[in-house]
């Protein structure tokens, strides 16, 4: 793989942000589709709402993984770092939405573990996307 010069990397910085934003939006879209499918399943089957927290965590991690793979494949460099940043951006976006839409929402210490998992899922997706 040819080395990239510092000038070429500097010129791609805005493009990097745009690709990461597209990746995060892609992850939100995946999450939305999965949540809509499971809401229909809960409505029309005997599934209970007790499984929703597990579905939310699993869906978020899979969406982060897929989005990070997309970002890494498009950027073709530093897959683990770009993927991890994509995962953190996804989580920060969710927290911002929650603060805006839920008046009694509070960030607590448990979000450190969520941030760690988002970074790890994103890094794994980035490594996968770069090497596939």
Confidence band, pLDDT 50/70/90 cuts, at residue 108: confident
> Cα separation of 79 and 58, whole Å?
22
62-84 pLDDT, tens digit per residue, is 999 999 999 999 998 888 999 99
- Is residue 35 classed exposed, middle or buried when 0-12, 13-18 and 19+ CB atoms within 10 A define those classes? middle
118-129 pLDDT, tens digit per residue, is 999 999 999 999
For the chain, what are the domain ranges?
6-131
Question: In the structure encoding, which two tokens stand for residue 43, read together?
Answer: 């409505």
Q: Is residue 124 within 8 Å of 84, Cβ to Cβ?
A: no
């Amino acid at each position: 793989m040819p080395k990239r010069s510092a000038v070429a990397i500097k010129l791609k910085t805005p493009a990097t942000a745009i690709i990461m934003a597209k990746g995060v939006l892609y992850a939100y879209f995946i999450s939305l589709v999965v949540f809509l499918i499971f809401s229909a399943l809960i409505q029309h089957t005997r599934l209970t709402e007790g499984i929703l927290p597990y579905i939310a965590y699993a869906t978020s991690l899979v969406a982060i993984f897929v989005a990070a793979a997309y970002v890494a494949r498009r950027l073709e460099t530093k897959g683990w770092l770009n993927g991890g940043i994509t995962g953190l951006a996804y989580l920060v976006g969710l927290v911002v939405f929650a603060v805006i839409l839920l008046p009694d929402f509070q960030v607590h210490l448990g979000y450190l573990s969520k941030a760690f998992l988002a970074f790890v899922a994103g890094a794994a997706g980035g490594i996968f996307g770069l090497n596939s």
